[in-house]
Structure 1
Amino acid sequence: MWEERFAASTEYVFGTAPAQFMETHLPYFSTGASALAVADGEGRNSVFMAAQGMSVTALEFAPTAIERARALATEHGVEVQFLQCDILNDPWPETTFDVVAGIFIQFVGPEGRAHQFAQIKQATAPGGVVLLHGYTPKQLEYGTGGPPFVENLYTEDMLRDAFADWEILECRAYERELEEGKGHSGRSALIDFVARKPA
């Protein structure tokens, strides 16, 4: 599905600028730290982290998206290790990362999400942080991006429960206008989540 969506467009579906979430959480992206971008799409978020001086690995399944991501990295003069990966079925890198970022990765229901979160936790180094950004169920009223399935969407309680044994640094639902390519455009019901893995 995702390869078809990216291949059907001659433009970057979600634009080339990073998600607003990334810019508002800039202090977490420190020079010299390692980062993993999960289901990175066309590279806007991994390239942003690399531009902050981080060593970045990005996982993505769709070949068209990876091709565009590589072009974006070249344009910005940064290096990102792009790995073609079905994050639900393929093995993830065995190394761990200081930062693991999952930005709008709500293409799975509860069962897939449990596996997704387990992999994210395993990929995070002790003392490292996970940053998740996505939509809340109210997003279905707006229809300005994201999946049309309420079971795929995040609530504050869901995320707190999923990372109950971690230090939760932020868990906030809010609304904002988004202009992130054609894929995310208009009033949106969003949630930001940041948690630190026990050292």
Structure 2
Amino acid sequence: MWWDDRYKENDRIWSGKPNDVLVKEVTGAEPGRALDLGCGEGADAVWLARQGWTVTATDISRVALARAEGHAKEAGVADRTDWQWHDLGETFPEGEFDLVSAHFLHSLGSLPREEVLRRAAAVTAPGGVLLIVGHLGFPAWQENSHPEMVLPTPDQVLEDLRLPEGQWEVLVSDEHERVQNDPEGNPTTRTDSTLKVRRLPV
């Protein structure tokens, strides 16, 4: 499987730090039940658990999930994390969640991203938040060799969610730049998008 092979290339693929937007948008929120879609090696989920959240985290790579589970044990939050394997186009975690986080849920192949995010909205509890962060383009050092991969704007993400009118409010919808090092370690700037919506209480 492509993602397992990708993670086997190195002992650690990602930085081990939580995503900046997650920290910015969730710090200070009342902890509850969180769902992390596409959790990778688990940095976001571990950070959430350290803040007091009970976290269900899912990924398509069993290699990544095994690493994430180990990181949770090292951080002392194994009891607040549940690591689940899902091919999100086929299966989805059960339950309702006060926070649903989908950071960089992009994948080559047949991932039905819009459908997955609509399911994410469906499992967001009343009063809960859905946070979606994505890339708006490929990094400067990489040509767009995957034209089939759609990288939508926040407005496009919101439209694709098909949220029922009067039942949600938009808290954040913006584009932002961040610095990322290229393969040679040189800093470069790329643009990402953030959409944060809240399901109104019943």
Alignment TM-score, normalising by the size of structure 1: 0.85
Deviation for aligned residue 1:108:
6.1
1:60 paired residue number: 59
- Separation of aligned partners in 1, 2:101 and 2:44: 9
- Separation of aligned partners in 1, 2:147 and 2:169: 29
Map 1:1-199 onto structure 2 (within 5 A). 1-10=2-11, 12-27=12-27, 29-31=29-31, 33-79=32-78, 80-90=81-91, 92-107=92-107, 112-136=112-136, 139-140=137-138, 142-143=140-141, 148-149=146-147, 151-163=149-161, 164=163, 165=165, 166-178=168-180, 186-199=188-201
Q: Which runs of 5+ in 1 are unaligned?
A: none
Deviation for aligned residue 1:30:
2.7
Deviates more, 1:145-154 or 1:74-83: 145-154
CA shift digits 1:124-151 (9 cap, x unpaired): 1122110011111xx2362469984364
Deviation for aligned residue 1:19:
1.0
Code of the aligned partner of 1:61: I
- Separation of aligned partners in 1, 2:197 and 2:10: 35
| Bigger RCO (CA 8 Å, 6+ sep) | 1
**Gap change, CA 1:132 and 1:146, over 3 Å in 2:** farther
Please say if residues 36 and 57 of structure 1, whose CA atoms lie closer than 8 Å, have aligned partners that are also in contact: yes
Deviates more, 1:122-131 or 1:106-115: 106-115
CA shift digits 1:119-176 (9 cap, x unpaired): 101221122110011111xx23624699843642121220231345321100111211
- Separation of aligned partners in 1, 2:24 and 2:7: 27
**Gap change, CA 1:170 and 1:47, over 3 Å in 2:** same
CA shift digits 1:41-89 (9 cap, x unpaired): 1101111111100010001121110111011111111121001111111
SS where residue 152 of structure 1 aligns? Answer: coil
SS where residue 176 of structure 2 aligns? Answer: strand
Please say if residues 41 and 65 of structure 1, whose CA atoms lie closer than 8 Å, have aligned partners that are also in contact: yes
Q: CA RMSD in A?
A: 2.8
Please say if residues 100 and 124 of structure 1, whose CA atoms lie closer than 8 Å, have aligned partners that are also in contact: yes
Please say if residues 104 and 146 of structure 1, whose CA atoms lie closer than 8 Å, have aligned partners that are also in contact: no
Aligned residue-pair number: 192
**Gap change, CA 1:50 and 1:100, over 3 Å in 2:** same
Q: Percent identity?
A: 25
**Gap change, CA 1:23 and 1:135, over 3 Å in 2:** same
- Separation of aligned partners in 2, 1:152 and 1:145: 14
- Separation of aligned partners in 2, 1:56 and 1:121: 17
Deviation for aligned residue 1:93:
2.6
Deviation for aligned residue 1:117:
1.4
- Separation of aligned partners in 2, 1:38 and 1:147: 25
- Separation of aligned partners in 1, 2:53 and 2:120: 18
Alignment TM-score, normalising by the size of structure 2: 0.84
